[in-house]
Amino acid sequence: MTLDYTAETLEMLKRQEEALVFDHFTSQDALKLGCLLVKLSEQYDREVSIRITRESDELVIFQYAGDTKTEANIVYMEGKRKASLEGGHCSAYVYVANRLNHEFAYMFEKMPEYCPGAGAFPIMVNGIRTATVALSGLHDGKDHELIIRGLEEMLQRKTEEFPWILV
């Protein structure tokens, strides 16, 4: 089963991005967020890989790979990050926008350079993308869900829930 995405789906993803912004985001914040995501990932049925990239110099400031994860997960996370950067929103937004209007079809032709699916989210500070958090290893949009849960907990804010089923 897949969901029928609408323009409202895209608006909901934008609202998540608007709600989950930081006043500041440092390498210490990346460590805190990364460790929180690792802890929350224990509630899922498989392991994950997590990467947080500082966008000013594209330096990876946090990285974690579960014991069962491989180099492929690193490649997928980087592809999700690139899809998010080029799409200007989270990578799930790119996926849904493509489902609705084929706006990002070229990314699907250049996988894994781009990986337009759930799992990369912009870290915004004062309207500037300071970092990108990317996650790989879960299925059916759960990568996005885990990122949102971690950001909500870290920022002490709640956003809208979304019934993810991405295939």
Of 4, 24, 43, 34, the C-alpha closest to 163 is 4
Question: 152 lies in a domain?
Answer: no
Residues 54-86 have pLDDT tens digits of 999 999 999 999 999 999 999 999 999 999 999
| Tally of domains within the chain | 1
Question: 24 lies in a domain?
Answer: yes
Domain that holds residue 52: 7-146
Q: What is the pLDDT of residue 3?
A: 62
Question: 12 lies in a domain?
Answer: yes
Which residue ranges in the chain fall short of pLDDT 50?
Answer: 1, 166-167
Strand order of the sheet with strand 128-136? Answer: 59-65, 49-54, 128-136, 120-125
